[in-house]
């Protein structure tokens, strides 16, 4: 078994996995930069943090597995439940502390995921909950968001961006380091971008960003793990859904249902773009004892959680 490797190595010491899930038969086979990093001179090994033609030795892989197994004793169930029930608190605190100083715009976005760049869809013709909210009130909450949007933008439509011809949703948007590069780079007049996050603090930071434009973007609070929570957009209306370092924050038992719920928002032929942490990432190997929640699932010192995937 070869060890998973980063696709482009943009994050130092992070092994990352990027996937495009689609029910369309067409694939963009041109991926500049990626798949072209071949180590021919061993003296240049540190030029990049990942190489396309380098596989782990059996000894290296066994060493990584041993390191992970040393910290494979899960915390008590009551402690795990606490981290799960207070997840929104920990993420709110995270964004309150870091605001937008901690993050960098993801300039690799349009090479890694060309579906986000302008005019990449051949069939596209351009034309000019808060997690603390009880699910029984979620519909009213989302309806109020849509009314607020209509009042602010002058859009008298059924839902924000209903007149758009190409719709993108980023789940787990944080402070907007994917959303704003998309809005800045993709000047397609038919584009509308939705973004949501578990953290109300993060969403507020997006909304107060001077680049936030209600005519092209709509930010809202949403708990991805609550599959019964509604979205301010109807099923079958999205072309692209983006999850970057998001799925790893969910409990593994919640992942499949959450992805299935998101898939219902896609149009036929729509795509889901995922990028997340890879198994035996250095960040995983550095976890000390007392941080394991379950196999390959950990809690950081700030209370936020992370899972490490294989493809």
Q: Which class for 257: exposed (0-12), middle (13-18), buried (19 or more C-beta within 10 A)?
A: middle
Rounded Cα gap, residues 245 and 57, in angstroms: 28
Nearest of 73, 17, 12 to residue 294 by alpha carbon: 73
Tens of pLDDT along 214-230? 999 999 999 998 999 99
Query: What integer pLDDT is reported at residue 267 of this predicted model?
Result: 95
**8 A C-beta contact, residue 174 and residue 200:** no
* Fold that domain 72-115+159-307 belongs to in CATH: Rossmann fold (3.40.50)
CA dihedral in degrees (12, 46, 278, 248; nearest 10)? 0
Of the listed ranges 63-77, 139-153, 236-250, 287-301, the one predicted with least confidence: 139-153
Task: Please give the pLDDT value at position 125.
Answer: 47
Burial 59-85 (b: 16+ CB within 10 A, else e): eeeeebeeebeebeeebeeeebeebbe
Residue 245: which of 301, 184, 185, 300 has the closest Cα?
Answer: 300
Q: What is the pLDDT of residue 257?
A: 95
How many whole angstroms separate alpha carbon 298 and alpha carbon 306? 5
149 in Cβ contact with 218 (< 8 Å)? yes
DSSP strand pairing (266-277 vs 238-244): parallel
pLDDT in tens, 183-202: 988 888 999 999 999 888 88
Largest CA distance in the chain: 63
pLDDT tens profile 30-58:
433 556 788 888 888 777 767 778 888 88
What does pTM read for this prediction? 0.72
Predicted local distance difference test score (pLDDT) of residue 20: 64
Q: What is residue 194's three-state secondary structure?
A: strand
Chain centroid, CA 157 distance in Å:
28
Task: Give the Å distances, CA to CA, from 307 to 10, 103, 294, 295, 299.
Answer: 19, 20, 9, 9, 9
Query: Residue 7: its pLDDT value, please?
Result: 32
Could you tell me if 283 and 13 are in contact, meaning their C-beta atoms sit under 8 angstroms apart?
yes
Q: Which has more confidence, 14 or 295?
A: 295
Q: Can you tell me the distance from the alpha carbon of 184 to that of 191, in angstroms, rounded to the nearest whole number?
A: 12
């Amino acid at each position: 078994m070869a060890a998973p490797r980063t696709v482009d190595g943009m994050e130092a010491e992070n092994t990352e996995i990027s996937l495009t899930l689609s029910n369309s038969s067409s694939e963009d086979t041109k991926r500049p930069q990626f798949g072209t990093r071949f180590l021919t001179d061993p003296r240049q090994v540190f030029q990049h943090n990942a190489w396309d033609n380098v596989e782990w030795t059996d000894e290296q892989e066994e060493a990584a597995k041993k390191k992970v197994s040393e910290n494979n004793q899960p915390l008590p169930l009551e402690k795990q439940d606490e981290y799960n029930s207070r997840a929104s608190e920990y993420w709110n605190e995270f964004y309150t502390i870091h605001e937008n100083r901690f993050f960098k715009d993801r300039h690799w976005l349009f090479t890694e995921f060309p579906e986000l760049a302008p005019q990449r869809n051949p069939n596209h013709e351009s034309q000019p909950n808060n997690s603390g909210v009880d699910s029984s009130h979620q519909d009213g909450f989302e309806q109020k968001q849509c009314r607020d949007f209509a009042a602010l933008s002058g859009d008298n439509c059924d839902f924000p961006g209903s007149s758009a011809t190409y719709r993108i949703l980023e789940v787990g948007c944080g402070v907007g380091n994917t959303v704003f590069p998309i809005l800045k780079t993709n000047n397609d007049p038919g584009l509308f971008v939705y973004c949501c996050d578990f953290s109300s603090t993060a969403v507020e930071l997006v909304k107060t960003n001077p680049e936030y434009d209600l005519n092209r973007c709509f930010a809202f609070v949403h708990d991805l793990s609550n599959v019964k929570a509604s979205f301010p957009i109807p099923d079958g209306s999205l072309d692209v859904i983006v999850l970057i370092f998001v799925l790893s924050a969910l409990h593994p038992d919640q992942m499949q249902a959450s992805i299935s719920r998101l898939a219902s928002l896609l149009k036929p032929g729509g795509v889901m773009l995922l990028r997340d942490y890879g198994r035996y990432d250095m960040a995983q190997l550095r976890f000390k004892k007392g941080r394991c929640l379950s196999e390959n699932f950990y809690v950081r010192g700030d209370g936020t959680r992370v899972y490490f995937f294989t493809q």
